[in-house]
Amino acid sequence: MTPRLTNGLPDPMAQTPLRILFLSGFVPPHAPIGAVRPGKLEAWWRADGHDVRTIAVSPPGAVVDQAAHPSLYYIPYAEPGRWITRIKAVLMPARTAKRASPSGAAPGPAPDATRIRKLGLTDLYRQVMQFPDRHRVWIGEAVRLALSWRREWKPDLIYSSGPPHSGQVIAARLAARLGAPWIAEMRDLWIDDPYLDRHPLLKPFHDWYARMISAHASGFVVVTEEARAGLGRFTRKPIVLSYNGYDPSDFAGMEDVPPLDPRRLTIIHAGTIYLGRRDPSPLFQAIAALGPDAAKIRCLFYSDTHGAVAALAKRLGVEASVEIRPAVPRAEILKVERQADILLECRWIDPAGDGVIPGKLFEYIGARRPILSLGSPTGEAAAIVRDNKLGLVSNDPEEIKAMLVESLAVKARLGRLPDQASGDDKFRRDTQFRKIDGLIRDVLRTPAAARAGVLQRQH
């Protein structure tokens, strides 16, 4: 291929096609509901005419239609040490129920909503079995598959997106074997991720291994400013911040959908409540303080891990206002978000989570409904909501109550709350993906010798 020139310099992204090997544990159609970004990024490159081959993990029992996705290759997956996980899954709900109803306890956050579980020997065993993560079994097979193509298809670029960060291990091995540059996208940090509990005996080795593997990357993509700063302490390679963003086309045809409930104020939480890190207590306390008007509030939680939300609602006396729903397909939850009156974002109250921006926040922005953000009042996610006037950031039940009272009045007058601004185009996916394209240009223009090097701690 001969690249076209842009401003007198080769522009690798102007090649048609650029061959990209994309490694991502989770890619639609077989992916968790929250794993949207990898599929969108893959589609973005394909729409630009690039030749993309994607290797991903196939969930147990999934039926893969290879003819429908000829450039998408799934590696069968079975979780190592999964019997330990199954035992914990049986024991955890019983412990949750026991802790969620303390005798004579005063109203406040349910224990399971704010307590971070200590790690024991079974956790150590499971984490050793699942090192570097529970998807490790796809590493060898993915490497063999990509190497089998090298005579007829060799990538110009390797791009990996994690978690699972076992994909970064695959990318590092292939970059060395194929002599191709590698960009590592870390949707969550591999080192010092506040949502990743590592046993203290294993964490030093885990962090060393992550740095050793990451040393071979030519550049990095992160999704938060704090992640960029954190990664910058260990590397001098280029790091690009590319938010998850939202896709306006996801909401096409939903501009005039009717409200989910024409009578009651509906509050939607779409996603997982992580025990010890996301707590809806301030909202429930605000609803309880409404007295008889609490009957006009309807909170829908789409999934409730271990029953913690239901137990908390009962304990605070607002179970009549709280409904637990199973997770639903993404197209359905997007419509629900558009039909809602308020979208609930639950974040960790601890500032340690200030650098985490839930991908769901950008989807909420695209839905253009008012946002109620609970958790730490500082950090990037809170700043996005506050600075762009997208809703309320608060943990104060009185402030939240005031928001509910005002919202009830507006709904009674207008039938539903007005749409919010979307924070202009800066939060759109295409705006954010162009930043990645810029990094690819820079990496492919850089001679291989200049790309070589290792992670270096900056003093």
Nearest to 194 by CA among 133, 142, 309, 116: 116
Q: Which fold has domain 5-78+131-245+428-451?
A: Rossmann fold (3.40.50)
Task: Say which CATH superfamily domain 253-423 falls into.
Answer: Glycogen Phosphorylase B; (3.40.50.2000)
Residue 350 neighbours by CB distance under 10 Å: 14
Token digits of residue 5: 């020139």
Q: In the prediction, which pLDDT does 404 show?
A: 98
- From residue 355, alpha-carbon distances to 221, 229, 321 in Å are 15, 10, 32
Q: What share of the chain is helix, strand, coil (3-state, %, to 5)?
A: 40, 15, 40
Query: Whole-angstrom Cα distance, residue 407 to residue 429?
Result: 30
Q: In the prediction, which pLDDT does 94 show?
A: 47
Query: Whole-angstrom Cα distance, residue 411 to residue 261?
Result: 11
Where exactly are the structural domains of the chain? 5-78+131-245+428-451, 253-423
Query: Which stretch of DSSP H or E encloses residue 365?
Result: helix 359-367
Query: Whole-angstrom Cα distance, residue 374 to residue 305?
Result: 18
Query: Whole-angstrom Cα distance, residue 246 to residue 336?
Result: 16
Q: In the prediction, which pLDDT does 427 show?
A: 93
Q: What is the pTM of this model?
A: 0.81
Nearest to 340 by CA among 402, 285, 260: 260
Residues 132, 135, 137: CA angle, nearest 5 degrees: 95
Q: What is the CA radius of gyration of the chain?
A: 23
Q: Fold match between 5-78+131-245+428-451 and 253-423? A: yes
Q: In the prediction, which pLDDT does 9 show?
A: 45
Query: Whole-angstrom Cα distance, residue 80 to residue 96?
Result: 25
Q: What is the mean pLDDT of each run of 10 residues along the chain (459 residues)?
A: 42 73 88 80 94 89 76 84 60 48 39 49 74 88 96 96 94 96 93 75 87 95 93 93 94 93 95 78 97 97 87 95 91 94 91 83 94 93 94 96 98 92 81 96 80 43
Residue at token pair 């690249």: 3
User: 57 pairs with which residues across the strands?
Assistant: 75
User: 324 pairs with which residues across the strands?
Assistant: 301
Asked whether the bond before 181 is cis by omega within 30 degrees of 0, the reply is no
Q: In the prediction, which pLDDT does 414 show?
A: 93
User: 51 pairs with which residues across the strands?
Assistant: 19
